[in-house]
Amino acid sequence: MGNANMLVAGSANLDFVVRAAHVPAPGETVLGRELALFPGGKGANQAVAAARAGGADVRMLVALGDDAFAAQLEAPLRDAGIDASIVRIAGSASGSAFICIADDGENSITVAPGANLHLAPEHLPAFGIASHLLMQLEIPLASVQAYARAARAAGVKVVLNAAPAQSLPRELLDSIDVLIVNEGELAALAGTHGEADLSVQCEAVGVACVVVTLGARGALLWRRDQSAIEQPAFPVDVVDTTGAGDVFCGVFTAELAAGAKPEVAMHHAAAASALACTKLGAQSGTPTRAELERFLADRAQ
Ligand code: RIB
């Protein structure tokens, strides 16, 4: 597979975004403002972040429908220099997501997966020179498991962002090198309902390296038999947190693929993710590598 040093296998969605005073509660109707459309999907967001802010050579395996959305999802991958391995699903819609963003920057998201659910085990391309495989959970779990198994067999490191939250089979957890989760996802995997200390929950999951993203509190790097490392968040004026976790995952994995230590990767990923929150849209907020380096240099003074 060309010169890509990492492969992202995952989803692409067209995000239908409306801003409102607050996110609707169950049963509530909220009058929002104008509708905006953005390319999104956890897989595509992470691939774009890895290529743009992470500076990695990225290949992405993605399934798109045969509708008008497909071109809008493909263009930003190509613009970011990603080598897109696209599976075209006849008769299917592309993935889409319906997002409400509150004035405080928080959001609620409902995904209609469409073609993403057709990404199958046999679609996996050769790993080539890729050292890392990055995945999320918006494609079928059977495919995530098959890709992880194949990566392990090929000596490729597996990074899983276990989002959206769900419990996972032991066999999959055993084939993961790095797990990236937020607190809710960690609780779902640890079966602790979040009441235990973060390190206790990480230990309970049974993956040797776990990164927990903590929103405005930063991130935590937990490794078995090592002291946990905390990464404070970089303070910014938040406009939209949609995709901030994806930017973190993409940049973190790109840094690992470039040979960085996990704590350095976490530092850069936290900075890129903070910058992403200052703009509207999951991918449009992703900084370039130059913007990220300038931001880090400014804060190092
Ligand atoms: O993580 C944010 C993403 O989740 C959005 O872009 C949306 O498409 C959903 O996949």
C-alpha closest to that of 56 among 234, 243, 272: 272
User: Residue 3 to residues 78, 111, 120, 203: CA-CA distances in angstroms?
Assistant: 15, 32, 24, 36
For residue 25, being part of any structural domain is answered with no
pLDDT value, residue 1:
41
pLDDT value, residue 159:
98
pLDDT reading at 268 higher than 90: yes
Q: Is the dihedral of CA 228, 234, 239, 245 positive or negative?
A: negative
Q: How far is the CA of 301 from the centre of ligand 1 (A)?
A: 34
Edge-to-edge strands, sheet with 209-213: 83-88, 58-64, 6-9, 132-135, 157-161, 178-182, 209-213, 219-223, 229-231
Indicate whether residue 249 lines ligand 1 (CB < 6 A): no
pLDDT value, residue 52:
97
Confidence of residue 104 (pLDDT cuts 50, 70, 90): confident
Q: Is the dihedral of CA 237, 179, 144, 52 positive or negative?
A: positive
Residue 246 appears among annotated catalytic residues? yes
Give per-residue pLDDT as tens, 137-168.
999 999 999 999 999 999 999 999 999 999 89
Which two tokens mark 169? Answer: 């089979």
For residue 64, being part of any structural domain is answered with yes
Q: How far is the CA of 227 from the centre of ligand 1 (A)?
A: 32
For residue 101, being part of any structural domain is answered with no
CB atoms within 10 A of CB 291: 15
For residue 264, being part of any structural domain is answered with yes
Strand 219-223 versus strand 209-213 pairing type: antiparallel
Rounded to whole angstroms, how far apart are CA atoms 276 and 45? 11
* Ligand 1 site-directed mutation target among 8, 109, 284, most atoms within 8 Å of CB: 109
pLDDT value, residue 4:
77
Q: How far is the CA of 12 from the centre of ligand 1 (A)?
A: 8
Q: Whose CA is nearest to atom 10 of ligand 1?
A: 41
Confidence of residue 229 (pLDDT cuts 50, 70, 90): very high
Give per-residue pLDDT as tens, 173-202.
999 999 999 999 999 999 887 678 999 999
For residue 26, being part of any structural domain is answered with no
Which bin fits 62, alpha (ψ -120 to 50), beta or left (φ > 0)?
beta
| E-state strands within 153-202 | 157-161, 178-182
pLDDT reading at 2 higher than 60: no
CATH at 51: 3.40.1190.20
Range of the domain at 225: 5-12+41-95+116-300
Mean pLDDT of 23-34: 96
How many structural domains are present in the chain? 1
pLDDT value, residue 192:
82
Strand 209-213 versus strand 13-20 pairing type: unpaired
pLDDT reading at 288 higher than 50: yes
pLDDT reading at 85 higher than 90: yes
Percent above pLDDT 90 for the chain: 92
C-alpha closest to that of 9 among 89, 96, 122: 122
Q: Whose CA is nearest to atom 2 of ligand 1?
A: 243
Indicate whether residue 41 lines ligand 1 (CB < 6 A): yes
Mean pLDDT of the chain: 95
Rounded to whole angstroms, how far apart are CA atoms 44 and 170? 26
For residue 157, being part of any structural domain is answered with yes
Atom of ligand 1 nearest to the CA of 40: 6
For residue 144, being part of any structural domain is answered with yes
Confidence of residue 105 (pLDDT cuts 50, 70, 90): confident
Indicate whether residue 13 lines ligand 1 (CB < 6 A): yes
pLDDT value, residue 150:
98
For residue 20, being part of any structural domain is answered with no
Q: Is the dihedral of CA 238, 241, 242, 245 positive or negative?
A: positive
Strand 35-40 versus strand 13-20 pairing type: antiparallel
Q: What is the CA radius of gyration of the chain?
A: 18
* Ligand 1 site-directed mutation target among 38, 45, 280, most atoms within 8 Å of CB: 45
